[in-house]
Amino acid sequence: MEHRESCEMKRVLTAFWVAMASPAAFAGSTGSHVPQVLPEPPAPTIGPIIVDLQHSETFKTQSPIAGVSVGSSQVANVTVHDANTILVTGRAYGSTSLHVIDNRGNIIVDTTIDVTNHTQTRLVVNRAGSDYTMHCAPNCEEKPDIGDNKIYFDILTDQAQQLSR
């Protein structure tokens, strides 16, 4: 019984010694460098990027851009303009992710794109539970928007398409 307790005590003391020893103790008598596992630094953040519907914003990155990934191209469109410049265009209300990758495969941007409409010239009239959007700068003009009354939206967008032909 005594021998078993003695062996157990040796294991405990050995585990304690190993836990308390510095990495240099395992490097040998030459004191050579012990490799350490370091976490990858987090990707720098630009955002969240807030862009108005049907508007674009320009953003610069510190490292050259090799590729971009957008969670939903229905919400936002991202275009690489040059090695360090991206253009973000709001396509539909909502939120999506954006990742920008450099030529070494590192993620240099990891952020969210939020598409909103905070323009001061936008006026929304609600009649009988239906929305009708107008653009007022300085005079108010009808400007159909996502979520507007369907008949109002369809008539105005159809007219705009006929004019653009």
Say what the pLDDT of residue 24 is.
53
CA 146 – CA 132 distance, rounded (Å)? 10
Question: pLDDT category, 165, cuts 50, 70, 90?
Answer: confident
Global pTM exceeds 0.85: no
CA 32 – CA 43 distance, rounded (Å)? 32
Rg (CA), the chain: 30
Domain boundary assignment for the chain: 49-116, 122-163
Question: pLDDT category, 2, cuts 50, 70, 90?
Answer: low
Render pLDDT for 109-129 as a digit per residue (tens, 0 to 9). Answer: 999 999 998 888 889 999 999
CATH number of 49-116: 2.60.40.1080
Say what the pLDDT of residue 1 is.
53
- Average per-residue pLDDT for the chain: 83
Render pLDDT for 20-53 as a digit per residue (tens, 0 to 9). Answer: 555 555 555 555 555 565 565 555 557 799 999 9
